[in-house]
Amino acid sequence: MIREFSAHDFALADDLKVSLGGGLNVITGETGSGKSVLVNAINLLLGGKASGAMVRSGAEKASLESVFDWEPPADALAALNEAGIAVEDGELIIQREISENGRSTARLNSRAASAALLRSVGERLADIHGQYDHQAILRGRDHTRFLDALGSDSHRSLVREAASLRRSLNSLTSEKESVESQRRKREDERDLLLFRINEIESVVKSEEEHAEAEREARLLERASELAEAASNAFSMVGRDSNETSALNLIASALGELDNLEGVEPRLDAAREKLLEADALADAAARILRDLSDEIEADPERLRGLQDRLLETRDLMKKNRCDGVGGLLSARDAARARVAELDRSDASGAELDEAIKKTRSQLSEKSAKLTECRKKTAATFEKQMKKELGELAMKGASFEVEFRSALDEDGVPSASGAETAEFLFSANPGEPARPLGDVASGGEMSRVMLAFKTLLNRCDDAPTLIFDEIDSGVGGLTANAIGKKLAALAKDRQVLAVTHLPQIAAFADTHVAVSKEGRGGRTVMRASIARGEDRLREICRMLGDSGVRDASASMARQMIDDAERDKSDGDSKKTPARERSKK
């Protein structure tokens, strides 16, 4: 809760300090006295947007400070600790300075804090509802969120899960669309790669095959010449050729030496060499004979091989390859890329399966969420009727209408399968219609207060601030609003800016705001109104500037009645700690 608050050179406040208490704190004063200045200042301390126009004329900067009694929850404490900010003995001091140019700085317990951290902490410290803040409840797009906030833990868990699934589905769908947009490009690339692979393999499959083709081509290019040379060489070597052939001459030489075998070792050695020469020459002769028989010119085969080798060289140039090995490497790289593209197609199939599965999960969660919402809505309608009855609107009706939120494919949105809209009728017998179409300003104030009464049972903000939420109401309705605010203040600190004495009478702490001239300037002052001062302020609110006996008597009666109503409320109210156990 807010324990102390001070403002220096802020708007009309030159040097202002206010102490607040627990329970209901009301802020009263003449129109234009600066009541809402206090709320605006607190809003800035909670992370609101700063402006140079807020600095008092003639001053270089405005300084704001507030002391909060607060025990941070674990996540907030972790964020503060990470920023080097310690909260000791449950006390947090927030300071903010605003310069003429609109720049501002913030400190938490004397340590500099970012705007984001200040806003995050501020959201935990207080919930501010301005005079026009009830416009939020008029926006149908917010009604689903409001309804979900009233749901059970499991209800809100389903809300988070459905939203998460929808985000996942959107992500998968976007990825699928991206994959589809690339599919044609992949197909074109695959076709080109397959053509390249087939083009290479049509002329060469291995380095060995290419080497054999080159050898055969060389042979066929000189086939006639080789056949003639083999035939001529055979006639010079062969045994069945002319008498002077090598084999015949060797045979004659051996015949000369056969009769002298064993006579002279050197002759025997020569004979052995001649025998070896005979065997070698005989082998050569057979090869030459076979070649002369086998080698045959084949122009058609030669042209085929030459064309193939030419294509191979062209492909090497086309693919910028150095040799057949490089060409085959290019083929292997193309095969690898085709495999990668095939996996991309498989990825598309996997995405289809993931999308199907996520849609099913989203539909399942959304169906459960729909059940929870209907149950929550039924309870909400009853509670709102009761709350409105307590605010002098016993004949009013409040309904929750659901509308489909499925997309064109029948898939639930991030908020589930439906959206909620609040319908209202102030008078019995009149059909309920959208809230913004039928509620007057005074009725909206009460609807908002009733709604916040229910919503704040789910909210853990220690301080609630209402800035003239009672605008447009009076009489018995004002008394009912005072009771409701006092009831809210049993569980937390409530600040209410009001112009109604019926509400001010319920105050546990009454802050009176006024303006006065000082040194030729107008300044605002705020003080705690107690005893006769409080009585005088309520009389002023009743329209009596002189505190006549009748006004004073009425003011005392209001205060006494309010105290009695609060006491009666205490006796009927279940303690917060007991409610938390239920």
Query: Which residue in the block uniquely carries the two structure tokens 């080097």?
Result: 84
Note the pLDDT tens digit of each residue in 316-371: 888 888 888 888 888 888 889 888 887 766 667 788 899 999 999 999 999 999 99
Q: What is the mean pLDDT of residues 211-239?
A: 69
The per-residue DSSP string of 210-261 comes to HHHHHHHHHHHHTHHHHHHHHHHHHHHH-TTS-TTSHHHHHHHHHHHHHTTT
Angle of the 223-237 helix axis to the 246-258 helix axis, nearest 10: 20
Residue of 160, 93, 170, 130 whose CA lies nearest to 466: 130
The least confident of 44-58, 441-455, 527-541 is 441-455
Kindly report the number of other CB atoms within 10 A of residue 276's CB atom. Answer: 10
The least confident of 62-71, 96-105, 217-226 is 217-226
Residue 98 has pLDDT above 50, yes or no: yes
pTM, two decimals, is 0.62
Instruction: Collapse the DSSP code of 459 into the 3-class scheme (helix H, G, I; strand E, B; otherwise coil) and give the result.
Output: coil
Q: How confident is the model at residue 113 (pLDDT cuts 50, 70, 90)?
A: very high
Burial state string for 426-460 with b = 16 or more CB within 10 A and e = fewer than 16: beeeeebeebeebbeebbbbbbbbbbbbbbbeeee
Q: Domain ranges for the chain, please list them.
A: 2-131+460-579, 190-338
Residue 302 has pLDDT above 60, yes or no: yes
The least confident of 9-23, 76-90, 123-137 is 123-137
Residue 537 has pLDDT above 50, yes or no: yes
Note the pLDDT tens digit of each residue in 436-452: 776 666 677 678 788 87
550 vs 46, 529, 543, 546, CA distance in Å?
42, 20, 12, 11
Kindly report the number of other CB atoms within 10 A of residue 489's CB atom. Answer: 22
Query: Which residue in the block uniquely carries the two structure tokens 């109503």?
Result: 565
Q: In 6-88, which residue ranges form alpha helices assigned H by DSSP?
A: 35-45, 74-82
Half-sphere CA count of 151, side-chain side, radius 13 A? 25
- Domain covering 2-131+460-579, topology: Rossmann fold (3.40.50)
**pLDDT of the residue at 501:** 93
Residue 45 has pLDDT above 80, yes or no: yes
116's CB contacts (< 8 A; 6+ apart) are none
**pLDDT of the residue at 581:** 32
Note the pLDDT tens digit of each residue in 410-433: 999 999 999 999 999 988 888 888
Distance CA 392, CA 445 (A): 12
Note the pLDDT tens digit of each residue in 246-295: 777 777 777 777 777 777 788 878 878 888 887 887 787 777 776 766 66
Do the beta carbons of residue 149 and residue 455 sit within 8 Å?
yes
